Every structure is written in C-alpha cells, then in structure tokens.
C-alpha cells in the first residue's frame, strides 16, 4: 500500500491532558506595565503580525497593562493610524476584537511621525508613562530594515529612552560576520546585552517549543536522540508566497540571509542541543550557542541555490540578478552526539506549498526476519515530525502488521494537535508570545550576540563562493539538484502532509 492511499483509520489522535482549571500565566507572575514603542508601525510586518498581535495580547489574561507609541516615516495623525491599524487587524488577525475590545485597545495607542524627531517621541513615551505609573518599563520594537537599525538606536539614545528599557531587533542581524560584529558593537554602546532581544518568530511557535518538552520531559525520546539511532534530520520551510512587494529588501538579502541564518538554524539548535542544566534562559542560550560553535563550516558543494522563473521580471529586481529565492543545504554538527548525521535544510519562495516541518528520520531495523515482499522499509524509515504551522501537529510513523493472513506490513501513524487540547484558548501566536517574553526579560527564544556571530562565521565559505543559482518553475519544490543533495534519502515533503491527511 502506498503512502498516498492509507486509510484514515490508521491515524491515531492523542490529545494533551487538560487540567481542571485553566492556568493563567499572570496569576503566577506579575509583570510591570510597559510602554511599547513600535518603530516601522506602518510597515508590512506591523500590518500582518505586530498590530494584530498587540491587539490580542492587550485583551488576553497574559499581558500587563500596556500603552503603544507607534512611529514610522508616514505622516499619520492618530485617527489615520488607528484606521490603518483597524484595517490590518481585521484583515490579518486570527482573532478579531469586539467593538468594545477595539475601543479599549485604540485608547491605548498614540502615533508620532518619525520626522517629528527624538523630542516628540520622548514626550509621547513620557505621557504614556504618566498613565501607567512610576513602575512602567519600555519595550522598543525595531520593525525596520537592517540598514535603518543604527539610526533608530541613535534616536532612542538622543531621546533618553534607554533606561528601564529593552530593545527587540528584527532579522537579519547583519549580512556577514564583519557586519554582525560591527552591528553588535554599535548596539552595545547604547544597550547592554541583557537588554537586547534578537527575534526569531519561528521559535515563538508552540510546536517549536514542544521540541524541548518532547526531548527533555519524556524518557522515551532522549535516550535515542543521537547518531546511534537517528539517520538524518530535515527542517523544511517552503513558502508559496512570492516577494510581496519586498524586492528591494530581498535583492540585498536572499533566502539564505533572510531565512536560514535567522530562522532555520535557530530551530535546528532546539532539535540538536544538549540538555540544559535548567529550563531557564541562560542555560538554554548556552546550549544553543554550543550548537552553533559545533557546526562545520558550510561547504558550497553541499548547497543548492535556486531562483524561480520570472523573478528577474519582478519590479525592482535586476535583469541579471543572482539572488537566490530558494536554498537547500546539508549541515554537519561536529560533536559526540551528532557526528556523521546530516541535517538538511530547505526553504524558498513560490514553491508548491507553504509548509513548516521538522522531520527526524530514524535508522531502519534489520529486515532479515521478515519474508521477501513483507513491505518493511518500503515506505521509508520511521519519522517523528513536528509541524510548525499554527495548529501545531506532531506525528510519529512506524510499521505494523496489516490485518489478514500472512505477514504484510504497512505504515501507521500516531499524531496529536494543540487544537485537540482543552488549553487551546491559552495558545499565543508566535509574535504575541515573543512580545510577552521580551517584557518578561526571558531570552530563551532569542539569539545572543555570540550565537549570531558564530553562525555568520560558519557561513563564510558559502558567502565567499556561492554556487550559481539554478532556475525552477514557480509552484514546484525547487531545482532538481535537491534530490542529488539528499540522496540516498528523500525529502519528506510533500509526502508528510499527504501521509497525515
């Protein structure tokens, strides 16, 4: 029986145990009120993620009292910005506020054009702090292009908004080792490392954090989480969308700098890190940084760069552009646990589907005891798969006997989803969770200066000598060379989705 024709009855759904009483985080932890200064408030990220996230966080039981001071290059008045924000929340928010909830949130938002200068920004923050009281803290969110980050840091210093504050910085953090070192040095002249939060929204997803729970809370998985039992690992983040009017940004960045360094490597660290001494930010960050230091330098021969057909016709893209819109690579970890286990990463634009999975392939069992044609191994090895989509699925595939005479084997699956959990109402979206963690001062899901510099250092061979881009048709899974990269194995997508469904 093929993977594509498995009966639905083979799927077993397992729900999380649900406590009798809903646990509310802020019942156990009181956070001081915060003024959130949102730079780039009229930008695409703010429209799609940040404004909807703040609106929901404000009405949730998790958030402290907040005020939002929004700023960007647009010369909005308060009313105009609120209209912009309401439209963004209605279009992109997963949860839509009631009229009363929207009115409550809107009363907490004030807009200051960036052209008004540091004094106007400082005055708006001071007014918000008067409303919140003397215990108020500041969270500066820099939703701006990398080249604008230094100007914003300087503006915060000129406005005297560094004290009692934290700063969240968006990807990419630098474009190579030299630029990352220089940017770290510049930011450290104003903010301490403990105040800096380099964001990766992939780690804010429930499924990404569930990796830590699966590994370290269960005696079932951690004893086999090593080179003796795991054959290879795939982290696969194809995107169906194209540039979405971001040609200027993408031309100077590409898929590797935009996605791999800032997202896929961070997720990889959760998958392969050693057990931390405690489930607390410093210990987890130390283990993630050890992973980055243990990475082998990226070999250009183990990389496939691609560009979708028609990319060079996009507005703002050079007709001779060599920017990759797709990348697949093989990564090695040079330590005792993972020596010899390849880790395959893939991401790209305008691919066949938008998916986000981590798939751990286990080594196959000896087959000699089963008769020829029994089917063992015919549908690939056992896989443990984490789906990083918002409904956060985890599935485990294995072989079992098909009912009937004779020894015929077929692939079975067990899976569960947070949608089946009674605590699903407590689940925060990635950016909502990261806003909250930054206000708490929790660096667990953020990248350190040492970690980001180590990643750029390991990436230097690829950046110096990138392989030529190979063209691929939009709506496919990338250039054909990806199959040679992963041979003798096969990419888990698209079969994983078909298998689970």
Q: Which residues are catalytic?
A: 263
99 is in an annotated binding site: no
- C-alpha–C-alpha distance, residues 65 and 60, integer Å: 11
239 is in an annotated binding site: yes
Pairing of strands 196-199, 165-169: parallel
- C-alpha–C-alpha distance, residues 142 and 147, integer Å: 11
205 is in an annotated binding site: yes
Contact criterion met (CB below 8 Å) for 108 and 129: no
- C-alpha–C-alpha distance, residues 154 and 118, integer Å: 9
- In DSSP terms, 416 is beta-bridged to 394
171 is in an annotated binding site: yes
349 is in an annotated binding site: yes
Query: Quick check: helix, strand or coil at residue 434?
Result: helix
85: exposed, middle or buried (Cβ count in 10 Å: 0-12, 13-18, 19+): buried
Cβ contacts of 44 within 8 Å, gap of 6 or more: 244, 245, 246
In 10 A of CB 245, how many CB atoms?
12
Query: Quick check: helix, strand or coil at residue 13?
Result: strand
401 is in an annotated binding site: no
Query: Which tokens belong to 453?
Result: 């510099």
496 backbone φψ class: left, alpha, beta (φ>0; ψ -120 to 50): alpha
What is the 3 state secondary structure string of 455-500? Answer: HHHHHHHHHHCCCCCEEECCCECCCCHHHHHHCCCCCCCCHHHHHH
Cis, bond preceding 488 (omega within 30 deg of 0): yes
Binding residues: 171, 201, 205, 239, 258, 349
Binding residues for substrate: 201, 205, 239, 258, 349
Residue ranges at the known binding site for NADP(+): 171
């Amino acid at each position: 029986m093929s993977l594509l024709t498995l009966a639905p009855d083979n799927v077993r759904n397992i729900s999380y145990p649900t406590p009798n009483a809903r646990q509310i985080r802020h019942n156990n932890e009181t956070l001081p009120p915060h003024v959130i200064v949102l730079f780039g408030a009229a930008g695409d990220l703010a429209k799609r993620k940040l404004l909807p996230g703040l609106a929901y966080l404000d009405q949730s039981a998790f958030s402290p009292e907040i005020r939002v001071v929004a700023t960007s290059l647009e010369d909005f008045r308060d009313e105009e910005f609120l209209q912009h924000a309401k439209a963004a929340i209605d279009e992109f928010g997963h949860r839509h506020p009631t009229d009363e909830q929207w009115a409550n949130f809107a009363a907490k938002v004030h807009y200051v054009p960036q052209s008004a200068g540091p004094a106007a920004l400082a005055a708006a923050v001071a007014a918000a702090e008067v409303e919140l009281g003397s215990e108020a803290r500041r969270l500066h969110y820099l939703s701006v292009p990398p080249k604008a980050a230094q100007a914003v840091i300087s503006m915060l210093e000129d406005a005297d908004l560094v004290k009692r504050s934290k700063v969240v910085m968006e990807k990419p953090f630098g474009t190579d080792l030299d630029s990352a070192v220089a940017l770290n040095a510049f930011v450290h002249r104003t903010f301490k490392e403990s105040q800096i939060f380099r964001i990766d929204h992939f780690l804010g997803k429930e499924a990404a954090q569930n990796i830590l729970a699966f590994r370290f809370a269960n005696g079932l998985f951690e004893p086999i989480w090593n080179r003796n039992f795991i054959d290879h690992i795939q982290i696969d983040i194809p995107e169906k969308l194209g540039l979405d009017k971001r040609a200027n940004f993408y031309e100077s960045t590409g898929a590797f700098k935009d996605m791999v360094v800032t997202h896929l490597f961070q997720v990889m660290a959760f998958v392969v890190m050693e057990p931390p001494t405690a489930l607390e930010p410093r210990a987890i960050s130390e283990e993630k940084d050890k992973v980055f230091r243990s990475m082998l330098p990226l070999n250009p021969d183990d990389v496939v760069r691609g560009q979708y057909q028609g990319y060079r016709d996009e507005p703002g893209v050079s007709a001779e552009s060599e920017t990759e819109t797709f990348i697949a690579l093989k990564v090695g970890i040079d330590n005792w646990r993972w020596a010899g286990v390849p880790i395959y990463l893939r991401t790209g634009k305008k691919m066949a589907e938008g998916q986000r999975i981590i798939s751990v392939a286990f080594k196959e069992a000896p087959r000699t005891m089963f008769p020829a044609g029994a089917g063992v191994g015919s549908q690939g090895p056992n896989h443990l798969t984490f789906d990083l989509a918002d409904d956060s699925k985890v599935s485990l595939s294995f072989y079992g006997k098909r009912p009937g005479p004779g020894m015929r084997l077929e692939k079975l699956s067990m899976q569960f989803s947070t949608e089946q959990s009674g605590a699903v109402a407590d689940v925060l979206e990635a950016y909502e969770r990261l806003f909250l963690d930054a206000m708490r001062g929790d660096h667990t899901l953020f990248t350190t200066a040492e970690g980001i510099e180590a990643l750029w250092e390991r990436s230097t061979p690829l950046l110096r000598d990138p392989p030529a881009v190979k063209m691929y048709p939009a709506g496919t899974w990338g250039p054909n060379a990806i199959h040679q990269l992963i041979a003798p194995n096969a990419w888990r997508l698209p079969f994983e989705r078909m298998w689970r469904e």
